[in-house]
Structure 1
């Protein structure tokens, strides 16, 4: 017994030592994170406007500013074409140059798998290897009619984005290409009404969910029968009786007959918005032969020139990328019938009329066929497109990232689950679409599959964003994204600045993007913000995310996972409530097991509850898997399905679903009250309340939360409603990211579901770590006093090695003003941008209100200088508080650089540099571009006209308009409102006092 105890204590000691070492390593990394944790950018090139010089300048500016990775894409958005033709030898040499320079600088490159941003296509893709639809024409014939039967070639469906993107050459090919598939005939009788929304259900069209015009999911297949449906046994296959010219050699039997000619047509999807030489059809997403041809033409062509990619070498090409799916849907390929039979077990031929909305057999049967059609299409996209690209990337020592949302004809979570790196997108709040649901999707996928990296195309913008955004304005939304699970920002967009450096703001991607490039006014100071982001991203990639609830999505496609709105507080950037959650696809659930009554995945995701969708249909295979999880000890919330959605095994499949439901739930009829039924080692919780008033397919949050509370599981985090959070955990430690989501200071007590030791505060802005004694710990909950300034954030770290003794939770800190630096300031502006070389501000005022137009319309850096003496001796830390700053500032005191201030609290510690007398203070302040752009609108226009650069630029002449700025897009006029600018203070010396 004694020997066993020694072994046990040794084991526990080893665990403790390992946990302490792990946290120590995390703390070291927090202070100075490795480069791979830096944020990234979308690096856009505009249709041949590029040079080796500007490529190097861009990359070196990224390195200096703290950018560690990028996505390389060439597009054509609102800029005249340049001299370097896409994929020409010169273009390829420049790409090789960019890759080598990125390798030199340690910047990782991710390459989109096609020109433009939408997918995988180009001018090399011909009709036979393009995305296809099965379309039909029809004629009515009568027995005894001697007229020759000629079946017309059916036209293609209109492209989702219209015909405008098709060049005359591609429009001609789109209209001419077709291949015959089948000819079917059936008696013409009084037909049932066509299937509702058949063009969506048959995957002719799939609108973007971000647009708000498409549902997140399709209703389960109907159970209705129809006696006016086409009888399947009366459908005749006349395929071999049609001549190539459409003449049908067939005499119909008695009565009238409808004859349908089915052909495959291109779906009209074209690379967008690709450079002109890269325009072409999108390749077939169901066919590996077509995909290989495309990859060889584009990626393979570049890989030959780059040479072997070394995994261990930092920087350079490291990943391929599938961006947001914007090429519509397809429902056909040359081998589709064969693939369908292999996967579904029956021949789809006589159901082809259903593609056009006809009802075959019955409405229920036809909709089940359409479900099977979509399921087969999804499987082909996953296997022959996404997984094939992933295998191709792996073969070349690369990984694959996917943005699995919008217009996607599969279920988003299923497509995202293929990626090595699932990726999201979010737009700047107020400047475009709301695609924040993609954040929930990508983070869910990552947590389930165990990907530690969850990037997001970040702060995408349009709608007159016009250089208004800056680090401080983005702080709150950025912290929301961190709390939602994102741990790498890839800013949209860093436009390659191919224009001369004197022309700023320079080139843009039309009106899109948040202008995250070296022509920004504040770019020389952005490294301070990037340091904050890098520290946050480093910590948020450690351990695993804690989430209690797992929402299962229905089977089938297309599908967007949208959690219950009641599980989130707020609108566009809503925050998780006290029990965090993820979504899970059926394909992912098939890999789950149960350990200690928790549903666990091979990647490390672990959940206390599985919540079923309020959806009547489920395949027997998925239901059997759910039953096995319950039997192993899982807790399942929701009512049993009623039938299968598929024709596979029909009607026996429905009986299997019913029987399994009775076995797992213990009864068939849903009880009026909530019932907890034991099945094996687990529990099924069900009742009418779990189907009443579905909240985006799921029970309301309070029902689920009530179950966890009844189990004695407290919420993971609670506060007064002003704070948001996320929680990462590892051996012996818990780390919470907490941020103030208000523009006012918050002083509160927050409850954390961790007692692994005393808390520490880690400040990602300064990199400082502070022990905390203002807390209590009881019954698994630590209550901690937290005081945060406007939009401020902090990591709260619990670890066994932290041994501070709790002293309660009523402490607070207040700022005490020791001295206000009033009186005149010497201020210098840059004359190159229209400001005075030197002036005096008697008081700190807003530049835009100044009578001097050189100051009123100034954009850029101004230097404020003042001398001062300390009014009294000071002990301990002393801070210079800048008051109101628009929009960033660097403080230098007595020649010592004290750092950059970009967010609240707007202060710097000056104790190391201050002296009693003759202090020399310098504050460099940077505002935004809009004021100078607005001022220039009062001068003659000398920019792009009729998609052509101005003559003075092309010929290297001097400008005569008097304008200071130049940009490739105009987002202001002379009457646009000016923005508050400069240092308006008050500037004070302060100390912080502990209030007990």
Structure 2
């Protein structure tokens, strides 16, 4: 077995220059409320991060806490900069990295933004243009960061905004690793002072002469062309005047950049690619059919949408195409209401990010809270809380160890996507906008508004579901692609075998020229079902359309170009590798290349259609299984209809890596048939630690939520010990592979069997392997210490002492942004719900 490679991938981390700081460990958002921070508490929280297995923290100054006004520190003041530098220095000592936002709250704006460079809105009424300030101010601003939102399209607005930071960082040596820009939330912004001039120079005609077409929603072809031109101009200005200057300034000052391009009216692929670390966002809960996976019933899909890996792939595609080693995600935002999030809910969301190409997790997040502050401490209004007062703080390091092991491999391998899919954004721009300011905002929330309902989105979903490995490419990025003698596409960092053009209506002249260039160099281009029919651009359209049609027909006659009526067959003919077996079993995956050139897979079961079975992968048969939680194991192989198959056990909720190795398990028949022995009898329950006080001990034969017990158990949050003595049949002892399955656990379980600790189970499925030698026929003793959520205690706390809700601005709200009131909640099921079983073959 190629154990050397395994150990290299398993333990290697991406280290930041000159610092012992790991990006393989997950990082966290860190909200500084009012920036009312002290060195003592900064150090204490950094030590909590280190103990928990975090690799870094991202400082975001926000609104303050009532009663602490005198301790607030104004953003970028000498005292604030002193605290920031201390954080960086103390973090370096502890091995904790530090990032910061180039501002406070979001989006960019503040006290040095006045009416001359603040965001503006344009509306057309009765054919006339009306320009007004949006009057939007920085959301969740910190002391010293209040002010208007910056105009993202103005020529000198970003430069003027950054002069404040020039002065602040002059002479400072202890700097954060990276600057950060949050998602675009300049609501209603759709204009700037020289927009008319820029439009005419770029599009070739005067926008004022076509204002009625700009607002025409009748389907008029000319109106669609003007809308495309308008959005194209916005996108170019946003890229040239907002993203690029900020990135350039950051690099000149020694910072990397993390950029959330989503939510903007630009082409996300270009904007993400402008940064060093493209960052997507996982907001809310994916509707995954994993048995036992809970979704907060109060979460509003209509209001917030759900996470979608096809949207996440915009960030990872930009990273893959441009050779950026890190691609990050804001993770766990509003996964459920405060005090209701479990680690078992978090892991599937993280696994979904991994298969979408993300490899640098940022939790959302942790709130700075003084050590002396009573429970539950200071809290940011939006869940999830990853701080020291979280109910899963004791088990947090276990999930972080899982993430670190995964990211160690994902960061030290490169993409093996062999299909490149063109993003025809002009077809979107031709449609009626559904967002503020009458512009298309490409947000991660309601992806149906700009992605899923278009032919591009439908094609991407089909490719995803059918096991293809692909990235997206923009019009601008096509210009950087070259080809080799075999007709493969090269971006300088990634290699693709085919360029796939979705069924699109519009195509720019410049993009057609790039397709002709690539086709003439032997690149394989496949058009899905049809050729585009219209050239973009309202100016001199009829003449340009005739030229466009002629050149498009010439392109279609090139030997390597295909207008496909059977996409699967055409992609197969172009040697595109499809993971048909994985997709047929509803397993999600990402395929990558290790440093030695060998293939590897991360595979996750985010559904309920597969438990175990014979599967194949396109990269061959030399793999072993590495489960980051359960460890590594050999795979049994057999000869199948399409080559060698291996037997994969991967229950719903589980994930694993397939890593290169030559050693295989014995080729004995694998039945896959499992036997179960349910552990039953008298369960003794004793509460050991928690709030508001310890309920009385209990005994029962049927496992059920401890909230059904009397003596205040329905308000209890903490730990309780379950103990049972049981006998087992001889058949279990004779088996070499035995698992303990705890069934439903609310929320984590530390397991001890016959005096030996088996570890803490924190994710679905709540299973662990057992050494059969540990079992005996009679008088086995099983102890399970369960930790529940803090929600039940907060039901009581909000009735008796709601004084903890003392924050400015939005204060604290529930998952629908209404006033937070835990007192009205029903008790959350708690404890060991079972059934508890031994599983063996």
TM-score if structure 2 supplies the norm length? 0.82
- 1:589 counterpart = 2:444: no
Shift of 1:833: 2.6
**Structure 2 residue 169 is matched with structure 1 residue 303:** yes
Aligned equivalent of 1:453: 326
Residue 646 (1) aligns with residue 553 (2): no
Structure 1 position 930 matched with structure 2 position 791: yes
Decide whether the 8 Å contact of 1:117 with 1:323 is kept in 2.
yes
Name the structure 2 match of 1:422: 278
Q: CA 1:845 to 1:24, structure 2 compared with 1: closer, same or farther past 3 Å?
A: closer
| CA-to-aligned-CA distance 1:251-305 (integer Å, 9 cap, x gap) | xxxxxxxxx7x786533332112135422122333446432221231x4355347
User: CA offset at residue 48 of structure 1?
Assistant: 4.4
Give runs of aligned pairs for residues 941-952 of structure 1, distance below 5 A: 941-942=802-803, 944=805
Aligned partners of 1:412 and 1:559 also within 8 Å: no
Q: What is the alpha-carbon distance in structure 2 between the residues aligned to residue 880 and residue 805 of structure 1?
A: 23
Q: Give the superposition deviation at 1:366.
A: 7.2
Match of 2:494 among 586, 601, 605: 605
Q: Which residue of 1 aligns with 2:446?
A: none
Taking the TM superposition and a 5 Å limit, the aligned residue runs for 1:163-312 are: 265-275=132-142, 277-287=144-154, 289-297=156-164, 299-304=165-170, 306-307=172-173, 309=175
Is 1:72 the counterpart of 2:56? The answer is: no
Would you say 1:785 and 2:647 are equivalent positions? yes
Alpha-carbon distance in structure 2 between the residues aligned to 1:359 and 1:39: 46
Q: Within 5 A, what are the aligned runs for 1:93-492?
A: 93-118=82-107, 120-133=108-121, 265-275=132-142, 277-287=144-154, 289-297=156-164, 299-304=165-170, 306-307=172-173, 309=175, 317-328=176-187, 330-336=189-195, 339-340=198-199, 343-344=202-203, 346=204, 350-355=206-211, 368=225, 371-406=228-263, 408-429=264-285, 431=299, 432-436=304-308, 437-461=310-334, 465-492=337-364
Q: 1:62 offset after TM fit, Å?
A: 1.6
Query: What is the distance in 1 between the residues matched to 2:267 and 2:5?
Result: 37
Q: CA deviation at 1:587?
A: 0.5
Q: Secondary structure at the match of 1:388?
A: helix
1:814 aligns with 2:674: yes
| Alignment correspondent of 2:720 | 862
Q: Distance in 2 between matches of 1:373 and 1:711?
A: 38
Deviations 1:26-45 (A, max 9, x none): 24449999832111222123
In the alignment, which residue of structure 1 is the partner of 2:432? Answer: none
Please state if 1:25 is matched with 2:5.
no
Aligned partner of 1:663 among 538, 541, 554? 554
**Hey, what's the Cα distance between the residues in 2 that align with 1:414 and 1:865?**
58
Tell me: CA distance 1:796–1:368, structure 2 relative to 1, closer, same or farther (3 Å).
same
The residue correspondences of 1:759-798 to structure 2 (distance < 5 A) are 759-766=623-630, 768-776=631-639, 781-797=643-659
Partner of 1:885: 745
1:820 is displaced (CA, Å) by: 3.8
CA contact (8 A) 2:365 2:384 kept: yes
Give the paired residue count: 782
Q: Counterpart in 1 of 2:682?
A: 823
Equivalent-residue separation in structure 2 for 1:358 and 1:920 (angstroms): 75
Question: What is the distance in 2 between the residues matched to 1:396 and 1:717?
Answer: 48
- The alpha-carbon deviation at position 58 of structure 1 amounts to 2.5
Q: Which moved more, 1:284-293 or 1:448-457?
A: 284-293
Residues 303-343 of structure 1, C-alpha deviations (whole Å, 9 max, x = no match): 3474254xxxxxxx111111110013645545556655654
Partner of 1:8: none
Contact kept? 2:214, 2:226, Cα under 8 Å:
no
Indicate how the Cα distance of structure 1 residues 23 and 886 shifts in structure 2: closer, same or farther if over 3 A, else same: closer
- Select which of 591, 608, 619 maps to 1:727: 591
The Cα of 1:588 is off from its aligned counterpart by 0.7
Following superposition, the deviation at residue 77 of structure 1 comes to: 8.9
Q: 1:748 to 1:520 in 2, by over 3 A?
A: same
- Give secondary structure in 2 for the equivalent of 1:829: strand
2: CA distance between counterparts of 1:948 and 1:486? Answer: 33
8 Å CA contact 1:102, 1:108 repeated in 2: yes
Using the alignment, how far apart are the partners of 2:615 and 2:413 within structure 1?
22
Inter-partner Cα distance in structure 1 for 2:323 and 2:809? 49
User: CA 1:614/1:985 → structure 2, altered by over 3 Å: closer, same or farther?
Assistant: closer
Q: Hey, what's the Cα distance between the residues in 2 that align with 1:949 and 1:445? A: 35
Aligned to 1:623: 512
Shift of 1:596: 5.5
The match for 2:619 is 754
What's the secondary structure of 1:492's corresponding residue? strand
How far is 1:130 from its partner? 2.4
Q: Note if contact 1:598-1:606 (Cα within 8 Å) is conserved in structure 2.
A: no
Deviation at 1:599, TM superposition (A): 4.4
Over 3 Å counting, the alpha-carbon distance change for 1:714 and 1:116 in structure 2 is closer
RMSD across aligned positions (CA): 4.1
Cα distance in 2 for partners of 1:831, 1:282 equals 45
**Other structure's SS at 1:528 match:** helix
Contact 1:41–1:493, Cα closer than 8 Å, also in 2: yes
Say whether residues 1:530 and 2:400 are aligned partners: yes
What residue ranges of structure 1 are gaps of 5+ in the alignment?
1-16, 138-192, 195-259, 310-316, 667-678, 690-702, 951-967
- Equivalent position SS for 1:861: strand
Closer, same or farther: CA 388–846 of 1 in aligned 2, 3 Å: same
1:927 CA drift (Å): 0.3
Instruction: Determine if contact 2:34/2:65 at 8 Å carries over to the other structure.
Output: no
Q: Which residue is 2:291 aligned to?
A: none
Would the aligned equivalents of 1:115 and 1:274 in 2 still touch at CA under 8 Å? yes
| Structure-2 change in CA distance of 1:285 and 1:562 (3 Å) | same
Q: Deviations for 1:679-701, whole angstroms, at most 9, x for unmatched residues?
A: 15x22325xx6xxxxxxxxxxxx
> Which is worse superposed, 548-557 or 904-913?
904-913
Unaligned 5+ residue runs, structure 2?
286-294, 430-439, 443-449, 812-816
Do 2:105 and 2:139's aligned partners in 1 also have CA atoms closer than 8 Å? Answer: yes
The structure-2 alpha-carbon separation of the partners of 1:977 and 1:20, relative to structure 1 and needing over 3 Å to count, comes to: closer
Cα drift, residue 365 of structure 1:
6.7
**CA-CA distance at 1:914 after TM superposition:** 4.9
Counterpart in 2 of 1:248?
A: none
Aligned to 2:664, the other structure's residue is in SS state: coil
Query: What is the distance in 1 between the residues matched to 2:42 and 2:671?
Result: 53
